[in-house]
Every structure is written in C-alpha cells, then in structure tokens.
C-alpha cells in the first residue's frame, strides 16, 4: 500500500507467496533480489522452459535421464539441485533467472520438485 498499489488482500498474498521461494513466510533480501533482478520473469520462464525442452529433445533424453544424477534419495530436486542440473545442460541463464524458473514450477512452495511436477509443467520433450 505504501507503494501506491491498489490490490486486494488475496492478490497481495499471491504476490508474497510467489516471492517467498523458501516458503517460510518471510521475505529475505535474496528472495526479493532473485525476483526483481530478472527483467521479465514471465518471458524468462517461457524461454527457459523452451530451452530445456530443446536440450532434452536434441539429446534424446527423458526428464529422468537428464535430471537423474541430481535427484535425492526420494527422487526429488531442491532448488540447488535443479539449478545445477539446468546449468549442466549448457543452457545460458543467470542464477536469478533459474531461481525464478524454479519458483514458477514449485507451485506448492515446498522448495522441492519431482519429475512428475516437471512433466506436468510441460518440460518433458515432445
């Protein structure tokens, strides 16, 4: 409200939840920086999803083959593992861009992604 924005409480809560990538209910400077240092988050997410699909198709890899080395014992990826995996694909993206992508895929705000979530987000090669 101090910024002069006219939003409903539910809209503000949705914005807060999106920015709170750790899901702990507290915004840190790093979380704010991750989200606002990317000039166009929506286009960044679309571009990176396209590049990941292109990598998987071009290398004839499934999600499990591509992300397998980065999965924990529960077959999940935390944000660091996800970012390391995508960087290993040779996709040119900054760490803040990859955090924005991870946050957009982590609908539950659990800081964990599964292969099923990646598939549902449309990352599987077509």
Distances (CA, A) of 84 to 29, 71, 90: 22, 11, 10
Whether the Cβ atoms of residue 21 and residue 106 lie closer than 8 Å to each other: yes
- Kindly state the tokens that stand for 73: 């014992």
Q: What is the pLDDT of residue 30?
A: 73
pTM above 0.75, yes or no: no
Whether the Cβ atoms of residue 116 and residue 60 lie closer than 8 Å to each other: no
Q: What is the pLDDT of residue 35?
A: 60
Cβ-defined contacts of 13-18 (< 8 Å, 24+): 17/109, 18/103
Whether the Cβ atoms of residue 102 and residue 81 lie closer than 8 Å to each other: no
Q: What is the pLDDT of residue 20?
A: 74
For the chain, list residues with pLDDT below 50: none
Q: What is the pLDDT of residue 10?
A: 74
pLDDT tens for each residue of 71-99: 999 999 999 999 999 999 999 898 888 98
The kind and range of the H/E element at 112 are: strand 112-114
CA 55 – CA 88 distance, rounded (Å):
11
């Amino acid at each position: 409200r101090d910024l002069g924005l006219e939003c409903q409480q539910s809209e503000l809560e949705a914005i807060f939840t999106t920015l709170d990538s750790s899901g702990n209910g507290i915004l840190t400077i790093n979380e704010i920086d991750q989200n606002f240092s990317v000039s166009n988050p929506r286009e960044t997410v679309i571009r990176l999803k396209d590049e990941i699909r292109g990598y998987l198709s071009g290398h004839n890899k499934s999600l499990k083959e591509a992300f397998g080395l980065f999965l924990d014992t529960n077959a999940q990826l935390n944000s660091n593992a996800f970012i390391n995996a995508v960087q290993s694909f040779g996709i040119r993206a900054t760490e803040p861009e990859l955090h924005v992508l991870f946050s957009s895929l982590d609908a539950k705000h659990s800081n964990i992604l599964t292969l099923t979530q990646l598939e549902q987000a449309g990352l599987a090669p077509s």
